[in-house]
Structure 1
Amino acid sequence: MLERYFQPESLMMTHGYKPELSEGAIKCPIFQTSTFVFKNAEEGKAFFQVAYGKREKEPNEELGLIYSRLNNPDLQILEERLCLWDKADECAVFESGMSAISTVMLEFLRPGDMMLYSMPVYGGTDHFINKVLPQYNIQGVGFTSDQTTEEILDHIQSLGLSDKVKMVYVETPANPTNALFDLSVCRIVADRLSYGEKEVVVCVDNTYMGPLWQNPLQLGVDLVVYSATKYIGGHSDLIAGAVLGKTKYMKRVRTLRTFLGNMAGPWTGWLLMRSLETLKVRMTQQAKNALEVADFLKNHPKVEKVYYLGHLQEGDPQYIIFKKQHTCAGAMLSFDIKGGEKEAFLFLNNLKLIKLAVSLGSTESLAEHPATMTHLDVSEEDRKRLGISERLVRLSIGVEHYSDIIWDISQALDKV
């Protein structure tokens, strides 16, 4: 019999689910339960031994369920399906993107350690790195997309911190400027700073690209994090996060998740499974719409600059990274409006179809003002250095007809 290896989008409706275990239901039910019944005490002992790392799972051993803080059918099936997109060994789903990010950082960093991180990053991530981690004597040192491998390493050496680096954390494309970071550079930096038993882990926030347009695990990184609220959820009706990667790292992430208790619940898991079924069609349409919108903005007299990956030109170092790491320009773009905060607010206040709200990756188009909203807590010095100015507006393009999105942008710009 011929074997067929189905594409991820073909498996999103069925992978990991056995209808015969759920009365033949074609869709996985919501397992709204806190605990699960063991057939006997020996089975309970066996399940707990594996769950707490007292022994490895035997070949072909079928492990059952214990307690929904450890595992739940909705989360388990969801995690297996998410692995398909990124070709990950394992996945763990969390109750928010920040929950996923903070758990990874707390697991791989200890007091006295240092983390290299790309700039800019999402405002919540920036706050955790620069306001929360220092309370635990963990330091973050930023680097930008225009720095070379040697420049990053020289900077760390000049600070006398080479021995303390334990993680390279990268958000690419960066929120909100779409700045791209070369993951091969990040991998080299991490390897150069690793020695003996000291391993520097590379973690990438892939939220802007979703699991469709960039697959960092295939580019040599160790862990990928998502705000699953965004493209994976895609309907602005849930909050969730995800971490994916190699088993050796995921075992640690899962263990800490168990004891922090920040796993997503079964209802969220069920909603995310529903969303995965349409992930490719949604994201494909959003990307098509974004190209039309970006081209319109590029030629508008009231727009100073458009930050859109599809406009990168050959010869630009950013273009080289884009061609190496991405399969699509995505559906996120920002632009500098001529003027400042007053003009940006006038534009935002006059939108009719596009909603003025934070978040991204959903079916509806959204607009926000990073400098006073998502990135307000980033230091003024860093905002200035990274181009997060008062005239910058961020757009997340949805699935509406592109002509309607453009009409709305056009009429709002006319009011400026």
Structure 2
Amino acid sequence: MTDETQRRRPKASVRAIGNRRLQPNTLMMGHGFDPALSEGSLKPPIFLTSTFVFENAAAGKRHFEGVTGKRPGGAEGLVYSRFNGPNQEIAEDRLGVWEDAEDALTFSSGMSAIATVLLAFVQPGDVIVHSAPLYAATETLIGRILGKFGVKWLDFPAGATPEEIDAVVEKAQALGRVALIYLESPANPTNVLVDVEAVANVRDTRFGTGEDRPPIVIDNTFLGPLWHKPLAHGADIVVYSLTKYAGGHSDLVAGGALGSKAHINTIRSMRNTIGTILDPNSAWMLLRSLETLELRMSRAGENAAKICAWLKDQPKVEKIVYLGFPENERQADIYRRHCTGAGSTFSLYLKGGEREAFAFLDALKIAKLAVSLGGTETLASCPAAMTHLSVPDDRKAALGITPNMVRISIGVEDADDLIADFEQALAEI
């Protein structure tokens, strides 16, 4: 058995026909897998094994040189399921296609991806600069968990100007080594965009363009990979909760990280050590979902545009924060430069407070009262009382995470049916 057979991956996948470069939605149907290497199976089998047999002792040594980091790039073949596996590697190949990334990794959850990335680059006493708000668990990880090891942080609002971003980075430099700049765009749950290009320009001006500059890491869960490609705008590493749009059916939990081979090698070494890799069954389910990613996201985006156009004129709605209706020229400019679509997740502010938000949520008949986003079904929740409950009240108020905010993720149902559902729910307030 050769190493290539052991990996159940082809030596090369067709990426172009003549001068035509194949599109990601086409490559999702077979890239990274050769049926001839798995008994002719059209789809990759699920490889439920904890360990893999080496061709010979020399091959085992060579693979472990990659796993342990003595040689960059990871193992040349399959070793042990804490390090790699056929299903995970095929999924990683296909994830990289969407962002034209050099390499990619999968993880057991979005938070395990974020934690592994942070642990790979941050040392005790370092400073993290980040946009705000972030997903509550990410803020907890940075502020409370890493804070126990002397890691400090400074933040700037998601919609900050280049001057505001620069001022925060300057302050961070005075506090210690800036390990990385962490972004989330649009911000969860306020839906405010970050100017990734401005952040990259500030970073390069202050730290230069050498390999020792702090990497820019961005959580692209809300828009990517269809509507936003941060690597093209200056980001170095993109992280995902693949549970959301990539998984897309609310039936798996997974995370991802994409970027250059050098950055991914650093992250892979940490993943190998702490064992945050995705399991083979979830990787197989993710492969299934990636085949319909463009179809699902496109339908959800079309639905959201129609529904938000209706919602913004309703008398019981205070405001709606949806990328298709930029709140100001600054957000409109970022949207034009960075995005190819407005997404299907938005923030709805109802007139009133928690009572009105809860009444609306409890009255929904089609949309489901649940956290998460990006699934085929429409979901709605109250961030202040649910996903961001652990965030201090004063910080929630400063960030606009108020009791009357409802976060809505539109699915692929009939748009007019959803409008009817929201109409009757608003009538119950």
- TM-score, scaled to structure 2: 0.92
**Residue in 1 that maps onto 2:8:** none
> Would the aligned equivalents of 1:156 and 1:162 in 2 still touch at CA under 8 Å?
no
1:5 lines up with 2:18 in the alignment: no
Separation (CA, whole Å) in 2 of partners of 1:127 and 1:63: 36
Q: CA deviation at 1:132?
A: 1.1
Instruction: In structure 2, give the amino acid aligned to 1:266.
Output: P
Which range moved further: 150-159 or 77-86?
A: 150-159
Counterpart contact for 2:127–2:172, Cα < 8 Å? no
1:7-406 paired onto structure 2 within 5 Å: 7-55=23-71, 63-158=76-171, 161=174, 163-194=176-207, 198-312=212-326, 316-406=329-419
Which residue identity does 1:247 align to in structure 2? Answer: K
**Alpha-carbon distance in structure 1 between the residues aligned to 2:165 and 2:175:** 11
**In 2 relative to 1, CA 18–403 (structure 1 residues): closer, same or farther, beyond 3 Å?**
same
C-alpha separation in 1, matches of 2:59 and 2:135: 44
Within 2, Cα distance between the matches of 1:397 and 1:151? 33
For residues 353 and 409 of structure 1, what CA distance do their matches in structure 2 show?
9
User: Quick check: 2:158–2:187 contact (8 Å CA) kept in 1?
Assistant: no
Q: CA deviation at 1:328?
A: 0.3
Give the Cα–Cα distance (whole angstroms) in 1 for the partners of residues 375 and 349 of structure 2. Answer: 23
Query: Structure 1: where are the runs of 5+ without partners?
Result: none
After TM superposition, give the deviation of residue 381 of structure 1 in Å.
1.6
CA contact 1:163–1:193 (8 Å) conserved in 2: no
Whole-angstrom CA distance in 2 between matches of 1:379 and 1:161? 26
- Whole-Å separation in 2 of the counterparts to 1:63 and 1:191: 34
| Compared CA separation, residues 56 and 206, structure 1 to 2 (3 A) | closer
Query: Residues of 2 paired with 1:56 and 1:114: CA distance?
Result: 27
**Residues 168 and 369 (structure 1), Cα distance of their counterparts in 2 relative to 1, 3 Å cut:** same
Q: Which amino acid aligns with 1:48?
A: F
Structure 2: distance between partners of 1:159 and 1:3: 47
Cα offset, 1:63, TM superposition: 3.1
* 8 A contact 1:162–1:193 mirrored in 2: no
User: Could you tell me how far 1:124 is from its partner in structure 2?
Assistant: 1.0
CA displacement 1:212-242 (0-9 Å, x = unmatched): 1100011111100000000000001011100
Please give the alpha-carbon distance, in whole angstroms, between the structure 2 residues aligned to 1:141 and 1:30.
Answer: 44
CA spacing shift, 1:184–1:3, aligned 2, 3 Å: closer
What is the alpha-carbon distance in structure 2 between the residues aligned to residue 299 and residue 55 of structure 1? 60
CA–CA separation in structure 1 for the residues paired with 2:34 and 2:126 = 45
Q: Tell me how far 1:4 sits from its aligned partner.
A: 3.8
Comparing 37-46 and 109-118, the one that deviates more: 37-46
1:167·1:190 contact (CA, 8 Å) conserved in 2? no
Q: How large is the Cα RMSD of the aligned pairs?
A: 1.8
Equivalent residues, number = 412
TM-score, normalising length: structure 1: 0.95
Cα displacement (A) at 1:87:
0.5
Change (3 A) 1:289 1:110: same
8 Å CA contact retained: 2:73, 2:265: no
Deviations 1:139-166 (A, max 9, x none): 1111013432333333454566364222
- Output the CA distance in 2 between the equivalents of 1:65 and 1:157: 45
The Cα shift of 1:389 comes to 0.5
Judging changes above 3 Å, is the alpha-carbon distance between structure 1 residues 219 and 156 closer, same or farther for their aligned structure 2 residues? closer
Q: Distance in 2 between matches of 1:161 and 1:381?
A: 26
Listed as ranges, the gaps of 5+ residues in structure 2 are 1-16
Q: Write the deviation string for residues 99-133 of structure 1: whole angstroms up to 9, x where unpaired.
A: 00111111111111111111111111111122111
Which residue identity lines up with residue 97 of structure 2 in the other structure?
Answer: L
Residues 33 and 197 of structure 1: is their aligned pair in 2 closer, same or farther, counting only changes over 3 Å?
A: closer
Identity of aligned residues (%): 46
What SS does structure 1 have at the residue aligned with 2:402?
coil
Q: 2:293, 2:414 → 1: CA distance?
A: 18
SS in 2 for 1:92: strand
Kept in 1, the 8 Å contact 2:154–2:168? The answer is no
Query: Quick check: 1:365–1:399 contact (8 Å CA) kept in 2?
Result: yes
> Given that residues 165 and 199 in structure 2 are in contact (C-alpha distance below 8 angstroms), is that contact kept between their aligned partners in structure 1?
no
Partner Cα distance (2:211, 2:228) in 1: 30
Query: Take 1:309 and 1:27, find their aligned partners in 2: how far apart are those partners?
Result: 37
